[in-house]
Amino acid sequence: MHGGKGLEMDDKDLQVLAVWIATAIGPRMVGGRYYDGYWGTEDEVLDIDRGPHEGWLPWTITVRDEHGERWHCTAWDPQRDKVVFQPADTDPMDAARETS
């Protein structure tokens, strides 16, 4: 966990946060490959920590690119980011629903 202690929130707040996190993660899934337009790299997703966590990192994604492994919380941007390989035909919003 990169973000700190857990948050104390009511159910409605947790649902809103879960949807926000799922939207920020976008279509990225563990095992998938994506072009990250912000970093200018093609990344393999190794782990997604959906949190939520207290602090400025409510969620994190761990990726591997040509420079090695790193984690970040850069949101998916459909205008600059692209799916290179998707490991399964699933709905990325399922994770948000599971936390509700």
- Global pTM? 0.74
- Percent over 70 (pLDDT), the chain: 78
Measure Cα distances from 98 to 15, 18, 23, 83, 92 in Å. Answer: 10, 9, 14, 23, 11
- CATH no. for 11-98: 2.30.30
Query: Residue 1's pLDDT is what?
Result: 40
Give the model's confidence band at 91: pLDDT under 50 very low, under 70 low, under 90 confident, else very high. low
Query: Residue 77's pLDDT is what?
Result: 97
Rounded to an integer, what distance in angstroms lies between the CA atom of residue 65 and that of residue 24?
20
